[in-house]
Amino acid sequence: MENEDKTKKILTKYRQFLQLEKGFSANTIDAYLTDISKLFNFLATEGLSATEVTLAHLESFSAGLRDIGIQARSQARILSGIRSFYHFLLLDGYIDNDPCELLESPNIGVHLPEVLTMNEIDALLAAINLSTREGHRNRAMLEVLYSCGLRVSELCDLRMSDLYLDEGFIKVEGKGSKQRLVPISEKAIKELQNYFITRNLDFQPKPGYDDLVFLTSRGTNIGRIMVFHIIKELARQIHLQKKISPHTFRHSFATHLLEGGANLRAIQCMLGHESIGTTEIYTHIDRHMLRSEILLHHPRNIKWAKEHSSPEK
């Protein structure tokens, strides 16, 4: 009973750690705790508490995951959550040594998502029927998704108050509520402006949703599933054989920038990867240099500049 009470207190503090110090969402926290529960079930059968665990115990637990048929990628995710938990125990003084230090993850191989070519992206956008109420919204949505390299959740949560179009930036809130500034191309700005002409008339935002950029026909926030279905339907219309999703646009954005010669650190900043913290980004990289780097190398911007450049006299 005493061990159970101690375990509950530890898990309560760990939840607070994930929420307050890591800034994780409720869904992410639940996923971490679900993975930890698998370890606790194992420990119960061994008669161990979390603070008594050694590397040998964790290796036995990891082998058990494999034996019951859990895929390597899922095994790696579970072990990642367990490393986070023991890192917390070490920080909070529950243990003196981290048993996960030498724990190996399964080899999951390298899986690269599909990459769209510029012609394929143009074909998808061209397939959008602009005579429909959703046409300009969908065009703006996919252009922003690609040109800014956003996660689909970031796209859905984008707010009018986060747009600084005159300065050529948008503010994005990513994982862990971390904010970053992302340069936005002239092409994406133009598509947004076309959408804004009839946004309030066609979509009539409901109270509380006025600040969201992309709305449903009911005037509420657009969801990830809807974006996924829009992209799938466009791919079907142009007979695209690749298996794509909203993330395909983000991966294509990064790949095209890298192929165009953009600085890798600038790409990491744009994507909001956890390896580069938001505050650190802007103490080392001038935001105007970042914008110039992106606009110089992004193929969408290069094409736009060529199409709208004045002919030489």
What pLDDT is stored for residue 26 in this prediction?
84
Q: Where are the beta strands (DSSP E) in the chain?
A: 163-164, 169-173, 179-183
**R_g over Cα of the chain:** 23
Active site residue 250: yes
Active site residue 151: yes
For the entire predicted model, the pTM comes to 0.59
Rounded distance, CA 269 to CA 18, Å?
23
Instruction: Output the 3-class SS for 37-73.
Output: HHHHHHHHHHCCCHHHCCHHHHHHHHHHHHHCCCCHH
> Dmax of the chain from CA atoms?
87
Whether 15 and 139 share a structural domain: no
Whether 176 and 267 share a structural domain: yes
User: pLDDT digit string (tens) for 214-235?
Assistant: 999 999 999 999 999 999 999 9
Lookup: tokens for 79? 């072990």
Whether 152 and 54 share a structural domain: no
Which of 178, 247, 265, 287 is flagged as catalytic? 247
What pLDDT is stored for residue 263 in this prediction?
65
Whether 23 and 156 share a structural domain: no
Residue 6: pLDDT over 80: no
Confidence of residue 291 (pLDDT cuts 50, 70, 90): low
**Domain membership flag for residue 99:** no
Whether 185 and 276 share a structural domain: yes
**Residue 269, CA distances (Å) to 185, 275, 284, 289, 290 in order:** 16, 9, 11, 12, 9
Give the β-pairing of 179-183 and 169-173: antiparallel
Active site residue 284: no
Residue 284: pLDDT over 70: no
**Domain membership flag for residue 160:** yes
Whether 34 and 166 share a structural domain: no
The domain of 303 spans 118-308
Q: The domain spanning residue 278 has which CATH number? A: 1.10.443.10
Whether 149 and 298 share a structural domain: yes
User: pLDDT digit string (tens) for 128-185?
Assistant: 999 999 999 999 999 999 999 999 999 999 999 999 999 999 999 887 778 889 999 9
CB 113 within 8 A of CB 164: no
Share of the chain above pLDDT 90, in %: 43
Q: What is the DSSP string of 185-234?
A: -HHHHHHHHHHHTTHHHHH-PPTT-TTBSSB-TTSSB--HHHHHHHHHHH
User: pLDDT digit string (tens) for 72-111?
Assistant: 888 888 898 899 999 999 998 999 989 998 888 777 655 5
Whether 139 and 69 share a structural domain: no
Rounded distance, CA 301 to CA 278, Å?
25
CB 198 within 8 A of CB 136: yes
Which of 180, 187, 250, 300 is flagged as catalytic? 250
Active site residue 282: yes
- One-letter amino acid of 84: S
User: pLDDT digit string (tens) for 260-270?
Assistant: 766 667 777 78
Q: The domain spanning residue 55 has which CATH number? A: 1.10.150
Residue 164 dihedral angles phi and psi, to the nearest 5°: -120, 70
Positive or negative torsion for Cα 276, 277, 283, 288? positive
Count of domains for the chain: 2
User: pLDDT digit string (tens) for 27-82?
Assistant: 889 888 988 888 888 888 888 888 889 998 998 888 888 877 788 888 888 898 89
Lookup: tokens for 178? 């971390």
**Domain membership flag for residue 300:** yes
Which of 151, 180, 187, 298 is flagged as catalytic? 151
Whether 247 and 122 share a structural domain: yes
Whether 203 and 126 share a structural domain: yes
Whether 180 and 303 share a structural domain: yes
Which of 13, 159, 190, 273 is flagged as catalytic? 273
Rounded distance, CA 2 to CA 7, Å?
9
Whether 148 and 288 share a structural domain: yes
Rounded distance, CA 265 to CA 276, Å?
9
